[in-house]
Structure 1
């Protein structure tokens, strides 16, 4: 039987969109699944992370084989698919690999778009839900806090998230590079398609307030304008709106050009050749490419935007190595903390046992020291405690050095047996149960499940 951390999940790398949709866990469903998971005897703690590109279960288990089987069953029921069929789309990672994976996810290194920032908030919300539902515990709490910290470190120490990699965001970035501050600019959106809407949304996020929408179907123009607090205009008003606009976003489904060079030259004359940025994301194009030759016109079409996206992606990829180094450092830090937990409960219990024995011996001999002064009694007690501390120094040092290894487990078990640290009824002393909140109980303590849960709640 093996124990430790486990992640079981599917992502855009292993499962098609249709399956990811079936595995998705809205908050209410995620809460129910967390409750189901921690009711399994082999699972002590659980966190469920669900986004459009992944569904993952992070588990602390006393038996990772049994835990994986149970978690597979939970996901199979969620997706209404047979466990055997589902298993082909899942990945399973343990211990250090599980830690490294979560840290890479939080840093945006495992995302469909490398370096995207939204995943950090999703990781945080997943942990918050598990905490509210009482499914997380000391180990997963520390794991997810450290994952979020690792993601922040990657974003602050590299430029992996600073390059725009979506067409709308790149379009806005290029417009800002041409015109400067966009907050006072007037935007005209031609067409009510998805591309135009996404670009208008990105412009609004940059502070643009004035948005006009022109579309051949006026009712659709009204609908899109309302979503951005803008104003709809009829398609035959397009020339007048071009005179007033600073930025034009065009995304119609027209099979032909809707604005030619000669028409736009007339518009530019009327606007006294004020700068105009045109973002033509229509395919086929809406604006004649020859308008680039006109003074004060800056035209970006899909080829321009996609070249910039590809360039930014290359720059993000170049930062991946440094980001991966940070993830590895943070993984090592967490694993060092985790491995010490194998022996810390035993060390703490050993010290408490020594303190208790010193106190008991002093109490037993209280009647024999009637002639001692208070100061002498304090000296005797200090000497007794110093002897106990020195006696335990070497065993404690050996246990710490062996943390995380098979020898560490055997030594901890031998110490507990030799000093009878688990001699109370039920297999664990009260002091051990208090200390269980500081360690994955399944690895060393073998506590009764009720004691494990109580310890976790006391920590939170």
Structure 2
């Protein structure tokens, strides 16, 4: 039997569970995100859906009355997109539910799940993902509450802790890596492929080291020109890229192109022109902008987004106190979310319990109507009143206890509600029992990152 309660479910992969070669196959552009979530909610099993896709993760947040079927359906859709078997993808997917799913999103938005802990870009990425789902019309009461609360949590973490005070980002780490490889960047010929937010942060980090950069862009040529004016660089079209590669020392690429921009065959021709001069390529795009085979060419040193992890591990030292405080803020907000979800559960459960009791009274009275043929209308009214009074008294204490759970938001509330529903067969008797809230909440000292949690773990 399928439960009628709606549950929150997340399916995702991240840099913690899957290499960039797989993440890029599941990456979604903004247009693709809208299309993907629309297709999901067109299936009756999924009621709400929001997709998040960044260089380090692709996650889908769903609301469904049948989370098992929804997970199976979504896993199949993701596997089809990645062109691999669902069983192969299943081992790399994490799938927290309800408050565990909310906690994970809160941590993602706060930068606690980022490769560079505390990085600020993810807040904007989550907001744009939510806006995309709003535009697609695939959000609802639960996901609206979830994402609004997650964004608020991210703001709290950044304003109340020093977690993001270092302003370190993927872009700054990429520039640090370039400096590690070639030494002093001043006077180096640096090319940035792309003109988005990541490209801007890269140019900013390079400018701080006295480097004027060349922007290569096609679609965002106007934005690239604006960036060039700010950072003292220049702009060329994508058609001119081969000529620029022939003179560059370092190339940092961060476009949103679904296809490679620098191919191995083309780069091989460029390297012949360079006369043995080395070239450093840093590809921080997902999907990747530079074919992996380019790294095998003589004189070429290629790094992708996953290679930055070693630099992060060496250079990043987040103060434990800041991380602990950020975790405490997340747990504080999760308690609020748990209380909200608990309220959704309690009210219809009480209504369903009362209606169930009334149904039983009316059924028993109807079954015994033939026994009271000689009873007067006044006697029948008394029988009816006594039967309903017994029902009211029997359900009085459970009702009081359920209301108390709603008022205080107890962490064991959902388990008790589920027990009540099972004891009185309310999932069969009632049509609607809103969102479940199992897993809500746990103490802050028991928090762990869900990014490495496998399905079934």
TM-score computed with the length of structure 2 as normaliser? 0.55
Shift of 1:312: 6.9
Residue pair 2:119, 2:169 contacting (<8 A) in 1 also: no
Alpha-carbon distance, 1:36 to partner: 2.1
Distance 1:348 1:405 in 2: 16
Q: Of 69, 79, 83, which residue of structure 2 is paired with 1:80? A: 83
One of 324, 327, 330 as aligned partner of 1:321? 324
Give the length in aligned residue pairs.
303
Mapped contact 1:213–1:225 kept (Cα < 8 A): no
Task: Note if 1:190 corresponds to 2:199.
Answer: no
Q: Distance in 2 between matches of 1:73 and 1:345?
A: 33
**Deviations 1:291-310 (CA, angstroms, capped at 9, x unpaired):** xxxxxxxxxxxxxxxxx987
Equivalent-residue separation in structure 2 for 1:398 and 1:352 (angstroms): 17
Tell me which residue corresponds to 1:228. 228
State the 1:45 CA deviation.
Answer: 1.6
Paired with 1:310 and 1:84, the residues of 2 have a C-alpha distance of 32
Asked whether the 8 Å contact 1:9–1:57 carries over to 2, the reply is yes
Alignment of 1:363-442 (within 5 A): 396-401=399-404, 404-411=413-420, 439-440=434-435
Partner of 2:68: 65
1:91-130 correspondence to structure 2 within 5 Å: 91-130=94-133
Task: Give, in whole Å, the separation in 2 of the partners of 1:442 and 1:212.
Answer: 52
Match of 1:344 in 2: 347
**Cα offset for 1:344?**
1.3
* SS of equivalent to 2:403: helix
Distance 1:130 1:351, change over 3 A: farther
| Alignment check: 8 A CA contact 2:10 2:101 kept | yes
Q: Please, which of 25, 29, 34 is the counterpart of residue 26 of structure 1? A: 29
Of 15-24 and 189-198, deviating more is: 189-198
Aligned equivalents of 2:84, 2:35: Cα separation in 1: 18
Instruction: State the superposition RMSD in angstroms.
Output: 4.7
Relative distance call for 1:40 and 1:164 in structure 2 (3 A) is same
Q: How far, CA to CA, are the matches of 1:157 and 1:126 in structure 2? A: 25
Contact 1:33 1:74 in 2 (8 A): no
Query: Unmatched 5+ residue regions in structure 1?
Result: 174-187, 216-223, 233-250, 254-281, 284-307, 354-386, 444-460
Q: Distance in 2 between matches of 1:64 and 1:348?
A: 24
CA distance in 2, matches of 1:78, 1:200: 27
- Secondary structure of the 1:92 match is coil
Paired position in structure 1 for 2:449: none
Residues 12 and 53 in structure 1, CA contact (< 8 A), matched pair in contact too? yes
- CA apart distance, 1:150: 1.0
Tell me the CA shift for residue 37 of structure 1.
Answer: 1.6
Rg (Cα) greater in structure: 1
Q: TM-score, normalised by structure 1?
A: 0.54
Q: Could you list the runs of 5+ residues in structure 2 that have no partner in the other structure?
A: 177-184, 215-223, 235-247, 251-278, 281-310, 357-388, 407-412, 439-457
Matched, 1:156 2:151: no
Quick one: structure 1 residues 312 and 161, their matched pair in 2 at CA, closer, same or farther if it must change by over 3 Å? farther
Q: In terms of mean alpha carbon deviation, does 337-346 or 114-123 score higher?
A: 337-346
